[in-house]
A = this chain, B = another copy of it.
Amino acid sequence: MRVKLNKNSAKPLYIQLFDAISEEIRAGRLHNGSKLPPRREMAAALGVSANTVDSAYKMLLDTGYVISIPRRGYIVSFKPTSYESTTPWELDAPEEIVFSPNGIDFSYIDRSAYAKIVRSLAYNDGAGIFSYVSKSGEDELRSAVSKYLYSFRGIKCSPDMIIMGAGAEYLLIALMMIFPREIPIIMENPYDPHFYHTLKDYGRKVILLPASSDRFRADALLGIERGVLFIDPYSRFPRGKGLGAAEREAVTEWLSGGEERYVVENGERAEISPYSDEPLVCLDKNEKIIYLGSFAKSLCPSIKTSYMVLPEKISERWKKHHIYYYALTSKLEQFALAEFIEKGYFTKHYKMMKRIYKDKLDYLSGHLLREFGSDAEICGVCGTYMTVRFKNKDTEEIKKLARRNGVRLMSLNSFCADETEVPASENKIVFGIGDLRRDEIRRGVVLLKRALE
């Protein structure tokens, strides 16, 4: 194993070691089933303490790269896919590097487990996947999601508070229909334009808080008499910065300041962030917060099954309005997800991906530092993306130059609705690394450096 540690780096030794070993595993040089060297041996070879090796091994275990077998030690448990190439990257390769914050890495999904599950569901008479559906979603999946939400997000909810639906946007539209048409939805700006446009397409009134960068515009929110605030409290996409304590308080203050004020908490980004605050919904005393979750980010974008947790009061309103609601999501997919969760594959994947995204972001920030030094200031980090301010450079100019050199970048303005803009001084580049390999990240940064010279 080729491992080089740098004792002068700011990065802790055990993380360097974790990075090096996981890289060997992903590249297939440490293959599936092989044994990691005993900790003392490894420590002696590298000139570090056994504790450092312990910590690195523990992380490899947590992230699913290895399993621990009593009296045998740590065994690599990872099948590399063609996705993580070992070929040296070509600086002048023609493909564009796209730093998309919506990119998702689905190469690590345990396909063979998923395939076994769907096959047995489709074949097994008793499973009833060809039969009639449950309108609000299959009980098996609602129960699995309820357990998952409690264990991993701290959200207490019974399965019957969960409504499944074909996609987060479908659920959001269906939810808004239980409120009279004059009640608007309120969103931060910039945000995900997909939600904004879908809501507009369906004829809903949308109020945008004034376009801003880091600051949450509580002042503007407090002036709104009634509405449904749709917010991503963990990353405030695309800012990469969650709501601070004071900002959370402002939201709560607004909520309790009048009737017909609600919050929809979008938890999709939190699920791929290694650290995230307690969900807002856990602080909800007045049954006014709805939690929205999906598998599109935490598992893969092609799985459209999403869910909402409705507090009782809203649930009653929902039931009265949506007598004819259908989840409209594949029963096979629902059953497969339920089993994938119940058998522990989902949480294994979920834990591993958080670590992998974190690794990739660390790798990006390392390369930005190497190429740009203090000229590149990291302003926000969350899940699969970070926001970066380049000193003395205009963001739109950076995007243009980068594009000419084969790098596609987005800025906060790329996510502003209807030609609004954040103040030029606050505009930042949004680097997403979800679906990029390490070599692509490195190449993208080097190309960007060239472009800006």
Contact = CB atoms under 8 A, between A and B. Distances in A.
A112 B106 contact: no
Given A166-B328, A169-B328, A201-B322, 8 more contacts: A115-B122, A119-B119, A131-B300, A166-B329, A167-B328, A169-B326, A201-B321, A201-B324
Interface in A319-357: 321-326, 328-333
What's the number of copies of this chain in the assembled complex? Answer: 2
A300 B167 CA distance: 22
13 contacts: A81-B125, A119-B122, A130-B303, A166-B170, A166-B328, A169-B328, A170-B170, A170-B328, A181-B203, A201-B325, A203-B203, A304-B330, A330-B330
Interface centre among A106, A132, A301 (most CB of B within 10 A): A132
A352 to B, nearest CB: 15
Contacts of A194: 324
Nearest to A178: B201
Interface string A109-139: 1011011101110110100111111000000
Contact of A125 (B111, B303, B322, B328): B111
B323 A197 contact: yes
Given A198-B324, A322-B201, A324-B198, A301 B332 contact: no
A105 B437 CA distance: 48
A82 interface: yes
A176 to B, nearest CB: 10
A302 B328 contact: no
A411 to B, nearest CB: 20
Contacts of A323: 197
A303 B130 CA distance: 7
A122 B111 contact: yes
A299 B331 CA distance: 14
Contacts of A75: none
Nearest to A204: B203
A201 B179 CA distance: 11
Contacts of A299: 130
Interface centre among A112, A128, A203 (most CB of B within 10 A): A203
A123 B112 contact: yes
Contacts of A161: none
A130 B296 CA distance: 10
A119 B119 CA distance: 5
A111 B133 contact: no
Contact of A133 (B112, B170, B302): B302
A118 B111 CA distance: 12
A437 to B, nearest CB: 15
A369 interface: no
Contact of A301 (B111, B131, B333): B131
